[in-house]
Copies of this chain bind each other. A is one copy, B any other.
Amino acid sequence: MSSSDSTETASAKPSMRDALVAAAFQLFLERGYEQTTVDDIVALAGVGRRSFFRYFPSKEDVVFPDHERCLADMTAFLAASDAAHEPVRRVCDAARLVLLMYAENPSFSVQRYRLTKQVPGLRAYELSVVWRYERALAEYLRGRFAGRRDGNLRADVIAAAVVAAHNNALRSWLRSDGQGDASAAVDHALGYVQSAFGAPPAAPAEEHPEDVVVVVSRRGAPLWRVVQEIETTLGRD
A142-176 interface bits toward B, Cβ cutoff 8 Å, 1 = contact, 0 = none? 00000000101110110111011101110000000
Given A160-B160, A164-B160, A168-B152, A219 and B212 touching (CB < 8 A)?
Answer: yes
Number of copies: 2
CA distance A196 to B197 in the complex (A): 7
The reply to whether B159 and A192 contact each other, CB–CB distance below 8 Å, is no
Contacts of A206 in B (CB 8 A): 220
In Å, the complex CA distance between A222 and B219 comes to 22
Interface residues contributed by chain A, number (CB under 8 Å) = 55
A interface majority secondary structure:
helix
A152 to B196, CA, bound (A): 16
Q: Mark A200-219, 1 if CB is under 8 A from B, else 0.
A: 10011110111111111111
Query: Looking at the complex, which one of B197, B211, B218 makes contact with A224 (CB distance below 8 Å)?
Result: B197
* Residue positions of A touching B, CB distance < 8 A: 123-124, 127-128, 131, 150, 152-154, 156-157, 159-161, 163-165, 167-169, 188-189, 192-193, 195-200, 203-206, 208-220, 222-224, 226-227, 230-231, 234
